[in-house]
A and B are shown apart, each in its own frame.
Chain A
Amino acid sequence: DTGVSQDPRHKITKRGQNVTFRCDPISEHNRLYWYRQTLGQGPEFLTYFQNEAQLEKSRLLSDRFSAERPKGSFSTLEIQRTEQGDSAMYLCASSGRTGGYQETQYFGPGTRLLVL
């Protein structure tokens, strides 16, 4: 499968715990995005990387959230001291080199987080 992959697919944690999600983009895609989706809503942008550089962060990304893409390939999203309001689907997407801001973003299956 050459699509975007995410791990884990589901995560249940207790309030106050830290969690880390991983995303593997489509190979040769240099841009990688994180979005968050709550029930009944469309995805909301969190942050994106071009190669290993994090170029944009949404105001939704509080200080408890950190994302990395150390070698310009896979990325991790960590949430520290989780809160119940962090419960959501966390989606990763990637896009290639050809179209600038008009290039298609391809999404992974998502990681569904439940904070108890």
Chain B
Amino acid sequence: GESVGLHLPTLSVQEGDNSIINCAYSNSASDYFIWYKQESGKGPQFIIDIRSNMDKRQGQRVTVLLNKTVKHLSLQIAATQPGDSAVYFCAENRRSNDYKLSFGAGTTVTVRA
């Protein structure tokens, strides 16, 4: 079965508002998580990652939160812009998986002007 899953397949957000994309994982051994952004016709673009020894990590306009207790992570995008419209994937890895990333199905984010 799927080791990571997204809560909502689509998200519509007003330009300028904050976006929150949620992801759940099932294996407590998962200890490395990555968020990717994929625009139509392009490959996944790395946004931010987090290791299980952290609860929060911030980048430019993005924050990833990791809650190991409930096996949940989220990606927050501040002041969402039209260029943020894309499909967002969370991916996970763990030592037993070696280098094989496991991806969820993706959340499509649409930014309304």
Distance in angstroms between the alpha carbons of A115 and B106 in the assembled complex: 25
A109 within 8 A of B: yes
Stretch at the interface among B12-20, B38-46, B62-70, B78-86: B38-46
Interface magnitude class on chain B: 20 to 34
Contact with B along A23-51 (1 / 0, CB 8 A): 00000000101010000111111001000
Contact B51 A107 (CB under 8 A): no
Chain A residues with CB below 8 A from B46, complex form = 104-107
Closest-CB distance, A93 to chain B (whole angstroms): 8
Q: How far is the CB of A3 from chain B (nearest CB, A)?
A: 9
Residues of B within 8 A of A104 (CB): 34, 46, 49
CA distance A81 to B97 in the complex (A): 30
Instruction: List the 3 closest A-B pairs by CB distance, nearest first.
Output: A42-B103, A107-B43, A102-B32
